[in-house]
């Protein structure tokens, strides 16, 4: 302010002094005329710079800020400093907002900002995926017009919803979302969404697992209990009848033992608290041992062919033996008498492949994706008759995961099946 008044007095003095001097020499009229001309020039200068200032204010940019003289130089310098400070603050806010958006976009939780009329103001990437939204295209549109599900509309219509609700998005069949509305600022609300599909599936698997274990154990226990009651209440006179009772109970107890052993094995593999033992497994010797066991299990009902071509495998002997043994025993169970079971091992530079091919009953295509689920059976009655526990392929899957291998299944219903375990090059020795 002090600079402004000093500059103004200096300008007025520059006009008044010559005017007074001319008035003394040439008369008052000449001095007054000179003063008026000076004032007009001063006013014109101010009008000029005011015009430039007005033009700049219509599109204020630091690069186009005009230059001035005298008091306008000070004014423009002050505006430059203020504009630069404002730009710096705006850039800081923009950067913070961008960082906030980047942070919310990596969150697995969906966030939708709604106004008082349920219109979308903003959403993060997870919410866009959960509700099939586009933050630019759908801004300002009512969310109930974008997600057309009666239960969703009813939930948004509640004035003060407290509990989250479960939603199954139409555009994502099989998925489950937990959604909840939270009041935010004045007349705004946040819609929070969590994808709980995996949790729901795990819970379903847990319930199915408990139900299946209970069912699998109940059957042999019922048989054993029934025969024990017969033996206790009315022992058979015929020794052969008593022997049949005892044989049946022994078979059922062994079935329960196999089930418990498989459950313990699967539990140990799923927990994975111990790393896989790194041994050098002689595949020719292992396949020979498995073939001998398979012949005993088959009882001469099947023909076995072995095709083992060099190389060894790095991994746990016990776990690999369990996995390969399950593949071979499955082939025996589902191949009619007289069928051929071929066991192969190939060690190549790209990978190592252990495979079991059978000429059995085959598997329909719709069953193949679920074969490694616990207790999943294509034919339940046949599996139980042949002594299967329904956990074999689940054990195979987890053993292969611990060895960075994958299980591939090829089958033609009514003809044949091939189960192949493919190992990475790092586990193949001497290919």
**How far is it, in rounded angstroms, from Cα 58 to Cα 69?**
21
Per CATH, which fold does 107-195 belong to? Beta-Lactamase (3.30.450)
Residue 1 above 50 pLDDT?
Answer: no
List beta partners, residue 113. 122, 190
pLDDT digits (tens, 9 = 90+) for 374-425: 777 776 555 555 556 778 888 889 899 988 999 999 998 888 999 999 999 8
pLDDT digits (tens, 9 = 90+) for 115-132: 888 899 888 888 888 888
List beta partners, residue 347. 352
pLDDT digits (tens, 9 = 90+) for 260-284: 777 777 777 776 656 667 889 999 9
CA-closest candidate to residue 40, choices 6, 76, 11, 5? 11
Query: For the chain, what percent of residues have pLDDT higher than 90?
Result: 13
Residue 343 above 80 pLDDT?
Answer: yes
Q: Which residues, in sequence order, are CB contacts of 411 under 8 Å at separation 6+?
A: 362, 363, 365, 368, 417, 418
Per mean pLDDT, which of 75-79, 191-195, 387-391 is the most reliable?
Answer: 191-195
> Which CATH code is given to the segment(s) 279-429?
3.30.565.10
37 versus 172: the higher-pLDDT residue is: 172
pLDDT digits (tens, 9 = 90+) for 167-176: 888 888 888 8
Say what the pLDDT of residue 318 is. 87
List beta partners, residue 312. 429
Average pLDDT, rounded, for the chain: 79
- Counting Cα atoms < 13 Å in the Cβ hemisphere of 213 gives 13
108 versus 229: the higher-pLDDT residue is: 108
pLDDT (average), residues 36-43? 62
**How far is it, in rounded angstroms, from Cα 350 to Cα 311?**
12
pLDDT digits (tens, 9 = 90+) for 60-69: 666 666 666 6
Say what the pLDDT of residue 324 is. 93
The lowest-confidence range among 2-11, 99-108, 340-349, 372-381 is 2-11
pTM, two decimals, is 0.54
CA distances, 405 to each of 58, 348, 353, 422 (Å): 68, 15, 9, 5
> Which CATH code is given to the segment(s) 207-271?
1.10.287.130
Say what the pLDDT of residue 419 is. 95
Domain ranges of the chain: 2-97, 107-195, 207-271, 279-429
pLDDT level of residue 246 (50, 70, 90 thresholds) = confident
């Amino acid at each position: 302010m002090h600079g402004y008044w000093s500059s103004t007095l200096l300008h007025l003095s520059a006009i008044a002094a010559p005017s007074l001097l001319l008035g003394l020499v040439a008369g008052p009229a000449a001095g007054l005329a000179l003063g008026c001309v000076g004032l007009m020039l001063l006013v014109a200068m101010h009008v000029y710079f005011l015009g430039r200032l007005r033009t700049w204010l219509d599109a204020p940019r630091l690069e186009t800020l005009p230059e001035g003289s005298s008091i306008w130089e000070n004014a423009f310098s002050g505006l430059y400093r203020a504009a630069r400070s404002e730009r710096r603050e705006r850039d800081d806010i923009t950067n913070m907002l961008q960082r906030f958006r980047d942070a919310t976009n990596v969150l697995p939780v969906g966030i939708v900002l709604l106004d008082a009329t349920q219109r979308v103001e903003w959403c993060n990437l997870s919410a866009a995926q959960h509700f099939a939204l586009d933050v630019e295209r759908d801004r300002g549109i009512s969310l109930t017009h974008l997600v057309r599900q009666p239960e969703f509309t009813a939930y948004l219509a509640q004035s003060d919803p407290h509990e989250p609700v479960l939603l199954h998005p139409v555009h994502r069949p099989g998925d489950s979302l937990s959604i909840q509305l939270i009041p935010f600022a004045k007349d705004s609300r946040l819609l929070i969404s969590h994808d709980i599909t995996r949790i729901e599936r795990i819970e379903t698997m847990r319930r199915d697992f408990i139900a299946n274990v209970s069912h699998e154990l109940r059957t042999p226990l019922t048989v054993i209990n029934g025969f024990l009651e017969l033996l206790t209440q009315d022992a058979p006179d015929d020794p052969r009848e008593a022997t049949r009772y005892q044989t049946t109970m022994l078979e059922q107890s062994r079935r329960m033992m196999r089930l418990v052993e498989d459950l313990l094995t699967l539990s140990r593999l799923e927990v994975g608290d111990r790393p896989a033992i790194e041994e050098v497994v002689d595949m020719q010797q292992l396949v020979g041992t498995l073939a001998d066991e398979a012949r005993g299990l088959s009882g001469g009902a099947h023909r076995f062919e072995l095709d083992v071509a060099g190389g060894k495998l790095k991994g746990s002997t016990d776990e690999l033996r369990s996995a390969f043994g399950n593949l071979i025993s499955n082939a025996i169970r589902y191949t009619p008498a007289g069928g051929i079971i071929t066991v192969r091992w190939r060690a190549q530079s790209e990978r190592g492949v252990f495979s079991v091919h059978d000429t059995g009953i085959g598997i329909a295509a719709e069953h193949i994706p679920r074969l490694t689920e616990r207790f999943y059976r294509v034919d339940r009655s046949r599996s139980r008759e042949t002594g299967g526990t329904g956990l074999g392929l689940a054990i195979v899957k987890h053993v292969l995961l611990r060895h960075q291998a994958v299980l591939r299944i090829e089958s033609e219903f009514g003809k044949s099946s091939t189960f192949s375990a493919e190992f990475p090059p790092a586990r193949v020795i001497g290919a």
